[in-house]
Amino acid sequence: MPARTIRGARLKGFFVILVTAFVMSWMMSQARTLAAREKDGVWILNVVVGLRIVCLAVLALGLSLIVGGLRQRDDRILLIVLGTIFSGFTVITWPKNVEILPSGLQQRNWYGKRKFVSWRDITEVVEKRDGTVIVKGEGTRIELSPYHVGRDTLLDRLKSIPQHRKEQSVR
């Protein structure tokens, strides 16, 4: 009898991994095929909706652990700490839009303040193998994940800047 339980658990794990791989590849294909939107001369590079749904689910899990911990008597502290970690991690890593302005790039921090790099202050542009684009400026770093739409719009804009045509590197 225990062999069935182990085999069933392995199959469940396989399906969880399969669904996760499918969802992640679907989100990346959405990011590649959807275009950035322009509003009043500003290009807005959003994160795909699927990633926002995943973040909302993790936030809901964290909040439910906190609420469950408040109602428990035995493992109260453990549940509250785990829920706080899940919720805090989600809030800090919440996907942020990148805006392409006529004067430079802008992105919101996790606490609401905006980071800005003007086109002339860009010191380095790094394209990672996973599709992440990192734009470094004077003490500022703006990241465009593989789940942002309009990645090609940003790369085309960066290639049009004469000082960065040669400096773009792939890591």
- Residue length, the chain? 171
**Residue indicated by tokens 């500003």:** 42
Q: CATH number of the domain at 35-47+96-171, out of 1.10.10, 2.30.29, 2.60.40, 1.10.8?
A: 2.30.29
Residue 143 burial class via C-beta count within 10 angstroms: exposed 0-12, middle 13-18, buried 19 and up: middle
Tokens for 50?
């699927």
The proportion of the chain whose per-residue pLDDT surpasses 90, expressed as a percent, equals: 25
pLDDT tens track for 136-166: 988 889 998 888 998 888 888 888 776 654 4
Contact 44, 99 (CB under 8 A): yes
Angle at 143 between CA 127 and CA 164, to 5 degrees: 50
Query: Can you say whether residue 139 is alpha, beta or left, with left for phi > 0 and alpha for psi between -120 and 50 degrees?
Result: left
Distance from C-alpha of 113 to C-alpha of 45, rounded to nearest angstrom:
18
Bridge partner list, 42: 39
**What is the pLDDT averaged over residues 62-77?**
90
- Is it the case that residue 169 has pLDDT exceeding 60? no
